[in-house]
Structure 1
Amino acid sequence: MRTVTVVGASLAGLYAARELRAQGFDGRLVVVGDEPHRPYDRPPLSKDFLTGRVDEDRLALTDAEDDTALGAEWLLGTGARALDPRERAVVLADGRTLPTDGVVIATGASARRLPGTAPTGVHTLRTLDDARALRAGLTRGARRVVVIGGGFVGAETAASCVALGHRVTVVEAAPLPLLPALGPALAAVCAALHRRGGAELITGTGVAALRGTPAVTGVELSDGRVLDADVVVVGIGAVPNTAWLAGSTLALRDGVLCDDGCVTALPQVVAVGDVARVGGVRSEHWTSATEQPRTAVANLLAGRTTRSARSLPYFWSDQYGSRIQFAGRRRDGDTVRITEGGLVDGAPGPDGLLALCERDGRTTAVLSVDRPRPFTRTRRALDRQEKEKESEIEIEKGSGSGDAARDGLRHPAGR
């Protein structure tokens, strides 16, 4: 393997490039990125960057030392148009063809948009350019801001806009924000944070239309109400960037389908980060983007799946001055028990809270609001529990009871 191309100058792409060098690859390393920027830290975009506490130079994830260590060729400002497995090449949007022996797919995801043409003043928040535009739109005095979507990006953006002195309304189509991830009891806690923080929260109704030409003036809800708005932020999820892989024979279903080791159905192609569906799960979190590359690169260099990248799900979010942390695998029907702190009018009290999800006498997940130390202890215990379970599964596979197929994928010969 003389050349490896990392497609996506993202957090996951950067970590993959670092792992290639750390694991002994000394050949040609090419990093392709559709944005003109070197890899940067995205979590601050909806928080410290939006409020002006952090400038762009502090978002950078690489420096001169990185450049020396990586010895990579950076092809920025032009994305990939196709993957040609027959010719073993990546085709760029500008028509250039990059012959390559190995490929790491790290193209991430793009913000999901509302259908139709949006008026000016309507923003998404996924990239640095998105954040620049939104920050500029929020500097023109007190504004009426409507945030569509109560997920992590929407909630963090709403909290930042409140901190900047704007009047904020969050619209969530589900009965509660973050309901699929947290379940009703814990989602209600996060809903209360909005109200306590100073934002109005409207749930159980969607958006029918955006009003205003050329600039947005309001948001019409599906129940007939109209919310006045000077700025609208659409935070309704993300779509994995897989269009460039059409025709490549890779299995695509809400991401690039991989086995438990980030290995795709094509030899010498792995996927990491937001674009990768690893072992049936696609995780859009910082920890996945930084942990998966180690396993993916090891398997790429080995030419077969030797390691698993499945780990305990973990995410955090900063909202209204509180840090929310969650780890584990909650399922519908789990019971919820608050073990530390408590609630005041539905929101975490001054001491925060620690809540456990439990099933059959075992802890399955943990939610913390401003209780970092007990959360860390519980997370470590859950992680040990997860590793023990994985070991049991590997033993069963070794005895012949495992199935090599994942989501309909069969490993190619030699995998």
Structure 2
Amino acid sequence: MSHVVVVGAGQAGASLVAKLRQVGFDGKITLIGGEKVPPYQRPPLSKAYLLGEMAQERLYLRPEEFYADNNIFLRLGTWVREVDPAAKTITFSDGEQIAYDELALTIGAVPRKLPAAIGGDLEGVFAVRDLTDADAMAPAFTAGKRVLIIGGGYIGLEAAAVASKLGLEVTLVEMADRILQRVAAAETSDYFRALHMEHGVTIREGVGLDCLLGQNHVTGARLTDGTEIEIDFAVVGVGIAPATILAETAHIKVGNGIETDAHGRTSDPHIWAAGDCASCLFHGERIRLESVGNAIDQAETVARNIAGEDIPYVPKPWFWSDQYDCKLQIAGLNSGYTDVYVRKGDAAGVQSHWYYKGDQLLAVDAMNDPRNYMIGKRLIEAGRSPDPALVTDPATDMKALLKP
């Protein structure tokens, strides 16, 4: 009987094993996770869960009995130390070995940490990646506390929004010239800067962290402009890195993530990868997508191919972020854009930003504008690029742009 082993019990791993059973795979399946809880959603950790609006059980992607009911051996609270492609075995941290016929790596990514030399190991310094992180920092999110958010990407901004809603005094520092500089246009940065300032968040752009201050527990921070501020705790949101050590030590090809072909296979024919840890080809370029949508779609494609189908994975990039009462939805990838066109909605705070490279539509950022998000998404997937003058004209019937 064929044995498929999946290492990494996050969104991608859970999607992969469920799809294997759905498409009729009747061999043995083992899903391995380092945490002691069943696979769960991560996006709510920095939003609803941290706000206390979602119980832990509601985070679970499926009831725990689903795995037993579908003859999926769920092995939690254990870590894989080594993969041996020649022997087709994996070794756990306690030395136990199991064999596989096909192995899928869905091991996600790890948050980048601050160096200990600048106070990164002080108590009261938190990252936002898993349930343990969220549970550790939740008690600190108390009205009146002073928090420093380090990093002005989406994770940092979401944490700042939660802290502000709970009545904390929030300062956010971003070393780049503007928040969201790596991932969005200046127009989107301007939108979210104004939103956070309306909610009392102090945003310092072009200013980095020199060091955190304190003996055992963080008590303050010195910024790169010499400013010192007093804080009660800090949240670090300076990005994530793909988890590739298992692949590297197994001599599997790694670049920005574990490199996969169009079907999700790595450089070893019996090892696959999906989710945040994996890179794939998109329009001739190798990319890595950090999103729930990609984790699900890529993992399900891998499952179907393990089960004997021959389906190439076609990425359909889409992302979202919730901050205060604003829902940001993003379709496409804006890499290489030359122009951004703004379409304002009828209500305050409703607008969309349309990214073009010359005449080609690349991506759309939609703030509280789900209708134009869906229109933009469908246009991008169809390879169609409407005239920007039509996009920005309030009189344009946007739905009509979808007609042949």
Q: Residues 152-192 of structure 1, C-alpha deviation per residue, up to 9 Å, x if partnerless?
A: 11111100000000000111111112212212232222222
Q: Which deviates further from its counterpart, 2-11 or 182-191? A: 182-191
2: CA distance, partners of 1:265 / 1:331: 27
- 1:316 has 2:320 as partner: yes
Q: Indicate conservation of the 8 Å contact 2:10/2:40, yes or no.
A: yes
The corresponding residue for 1:74 is 74
Q: Indicate conservation of the 8 Å contact 1:118/1:210, yes or no.
A: no
1: CA distance, partners of 2:374 / 2:66: 30
The corresponding residue for 1:247 is 249
CA separation of 1:246 and 1:111: change in aligned 2, threshold 3 A = same
Q: Residues 31-89 of structure 1, C-alpha deviation per residue, up to 9 Å, x if partnerless?
A: 11111111011111111111111111111112155224431111111111111011101
- 1:131 has 2:134 as partner: yes
The corresponding residue for 1:366 is 364
Q: Indicate conservation of the 8 Å contact 1:263/1:271, yes or no.
A: yes
Per the alignment, in what secondary structure is the counterpart of residue 145 of structure 1?
strand
Q: Which of 326, 332, 336 lines up with 1:328 in the alignment? A: 332
Displacement, 1:19? 1.2
Q: Indicate conservation of the 8 Å contact 2:185/2:340, yes or no.
A: no
The corresponding residue for 1:307 is 311
The corresponding residue for 1:61 is 61
The corresponding residue for 1:283 is 289
Q: Indicate conservation of the 8 Å contact 2:67/2:74, yes or no.
A: no
Q: Residues 365-415 of structure 1, C-alpha deviation per residue, up to 9 Å, x if partnerless?
A: 1111101112112211211228xxxxxxxxxxxxxxxxxxxxxxxxxxxxx
Q: Which of 195, 198, 207 lines up with 1:196 in the alignment? A: 198
Structure 1 vs Structure 2 CA RMSD:
1.7
The corresponding residue for 1:271 is 273
Q: Which of 159, 171, 174 lines up with 2:173 in the alignment? A: 171
The corresponding residue for 1:50 is 50
The corresponding residue for 1:391 is none
Q: Which of 341, 352, 356 lines up with 2:354 in the alignment? A: 356
- 1:292 has 2:294 as partner: no
Per the alignment, in what secondary structure is the counterpart of residue 246 of structure 1?
helix
Equivalenced residues, count: 377
The corresponding residue for 2:392 is none
Q: Residues 3-47 of structure 1, C-alpha deviation per residue, up to 9 Å, x if partnerless?
A: 000000111100000111112211110011111111011111111
Identity of aligned residues (%): 32
The corresponding residue for 1:237 is 239
Q: Indicate conservation of the 8 Å contact 1:263/1:299, yes or no.
A: no
Per the alignment, in what secondary structure is the counterpart of residue 50 of structure 1?
coil
The corresponding residue for 1:389 is none
1:285 alignment partner AA: S
1:330 alignment partner AA: N
CA separation of 1:254 and 1:360: change in aligned 2, threshold 3 A = closer
2: CA distance, partners of 1:186 / 1:351: 12
1:134 alignment partner AA: M
Q: Which runs of 5+ in 2 are unaligned?
A: 385-404
The corresponding residue for 2:398 is none
Give the alignment's TM-score, normalised by structure 1. 0.87
Give the alignment's TM-score, normalised by structure 2. 0.89
2: CA distance, partners of 1:223 / 1:39: 43
2: CA distance, partners of 1:214 / 1:163: 28
1:42 alignment partner AA: R
Q: 1:336-351 residue pairs with structure 2 within 5 A?
A: 336-341=340-345, 350-351=348-349
Moved over 4 A (4+): none
Q: Which runs of 5+ in 1 are unaligned?
A: 343-348, 387-415
- 1:86 has 2:86 as partner: yes
